[in-house]
Chains A and B, each alone.
Chain A
Amino acid sequence: MTFESHLGDSDATRIDEVERARVFGGAKAIEFVDVHKAFGKKIVLDGVDLAVSEGEVLVLIGPSGSGKSTLLRCIARLLPIDSGEIRIGGQVIQDGAAGWRRRRDITRSSGMLRKEVGMVFQNFNLFPHKTACENVAMGLRLVRQLPKDEAYKNAVEGLTRIGLGEHLDQYPGQLSGGQQQRVAIARALALRPHVMLFDEVTSALDPELVGEVLNVMRELAQSGMTMLVVTHEMGFARDVADRVIMMDGGMIVEEGSPTSLLTHPVHARTQQFLQRVVDR
């Protein structure tokens, strides 16, 4: 599989089945088993069970504070969980019941899996002292340990594909929000992850810049990438998601296909939430 497969069209760009089997051996891409997480007394994940298949695009919706972002951050191992288990490709990456020794072993044995998960943040989190090109190339050098010229060649290709070929040497501060977020996506994709996490990636953008970022995500979804997307963009959810999950109070309240969940929500809290989003 090459980097090209993540963006672009045609069948040739789909992640091929052999590669998938090599990485995850047919297991679920992401699994949550009764995951609990609290910040002090505030419960943010209250018994989450979830399974995401390879190539699935899952959109998470729900009011702020409902645990959507926390869920993504636990997959990215930015937050430890209190109990339950999280697996990537069948391999345990977080075990809430484990003692420190087991946690250490999990961290060691699943170190390689970190590369398999890419994450894009609401505030981009680009490195402000590095140009767009350097932002992308840095990970290639530090993590994939490519030689300098190859890393830069890859970075230029990645940025050009995403429509930023003219901004290679600009610093994040010189780019628009939409451009910055596309650089952040290119930076994550450069490491060839198999799962991409998007945490409200368009929420900090001016309305007219949202489209360019959503388009990139749309193409990525078409290329067969497994994606977990936290968003308030209901149009995107309707068009791109394979499945939509509604969260509230740290629990999955309702889930279903975008058409059924967004147009005929069963749960009262989902109806209420969607009503508010539409009225906005």
Chain B
Amino acid sequence: MTILASAAYHWDWGAVFNHNVEKLGLIGLKYSLLVCALSFVFGSALGLLVAGLRLSHKPPFAQIAYIYTDFFRTTPVLVQLIWVFYVLPVLFGWTFSPVTSGVIALSMNAGAFFAEVFRGGIEAIPQGQWDASKVLGYRRRSTITWVILPQGMRNALPATANIFISLLKDSSLLSVIAVPELTYQVQTQAAVTFRPLELYTALAVAYFVLTYPLSLTSSWLERRFRIR
């Protein structure tokens, strides 16, 4: 029965390849990339800060950083997103636009992953690098700027490409708070044209085309910056 039904489905790719869908698709793509890029920038800055706090081992800050990373890594992005969009206004009276809410939620989430990636990258640096810097008389700040961070970032680089991929895919969740990104556009079109199979298939292909080069970049980076 199922086989018959699927065989009987009449695929109409005209629902995907038409002027309207292409136009809305481009708008959606623009929003997806914008949200993703902003979250990447804010998330990495936040992640660096949090990693720094955790590595500082200073009593209140390190614990706060630890709680933050664990909380955001162990709860679903979708829940975080809804929480920022619906709960913050009620709790604190802060109301954000859907795009801002989306960027906040994704940045906070990515920040937790960035923090772990940066921390790992920095902890992988041998103690000898700190010792050598100290004996040479470098100040702590100089050591971090010129010795530790350049190497830590290099160690972390391949993993950050993976965070970008995750962000691009997670940006589709913003459709639930009506951010007009790629998935949202496809959802509305599917509702109008009654052609969800074609549209969602095309959407999956679109995400694949966007993320696959990134995944190749990630493995290239891994090879390029392998620890000698």
Contact = CB atoms under 8 A, between A and B. Distances in A.
B138 interface: yes
A117 to B, nearest CB: 7
Contact of A121 (B132, B142, B151, B227): B132
A80 to B, nearest CB: 13
Contacts of B126: 123, 125
Interface string A131-175: 000000011001100000000000000000000000000011100
Interface string A182-219: 00100110010000000000000000000000000000
A173 B135 contact: no
A21 B134 CA distance: 26
Contacts, number: 57
B96 to A, nearest CB: 40
A115 B131 contact: no
B137 A191 contact: yes
Interface string B123-157: 00010110110111111001000110011001000
Given A129-B154, A138-B146, A171-B228, A191 B136 contact: yes
A77 B132 CA distance: 11
Contact of A173 (B129, B134, B146, B228): B228
A18 interface: no
A125 B127 CA distance: 9
B136 A188 contact: yes
Given A114-B137, A115-B137, A139-B137, A125 B146 contact: no
Contacts of A126: 132
Contact of A142 (B142, B154, B228): B142
Contacts of B154: 129
A236 interface: no
Given A128-B228, A129-B154, A142-B142, A77 B134 contact: yes
- Looking at B126, B137, B139, B227, which has the most chain A CB atoms within 10 Å of its CB? B137
Nearest to B125: A128
Contact of B128 (A123, A139, A172): A123
A125 B132 contact: yes
B137 A121 contact: no
B132 A142 contact: no
A76 interface: yes
A187 B136 contact: yes
Nearest to A184: B132
B151 A117 contact: no
A55 interface: no
Interface of B: 126, 128-129, 131-132, 134-139, 142, 146-147, 150-151, 154, 227-228
13 contacts: A76-B131, A77-B134, A78-B131, A121-B132, A123-B128, A125-B126, A127-B151, A129-B151, A139-B136, A142-B137, A143-B136, A173-B228, A188-B136
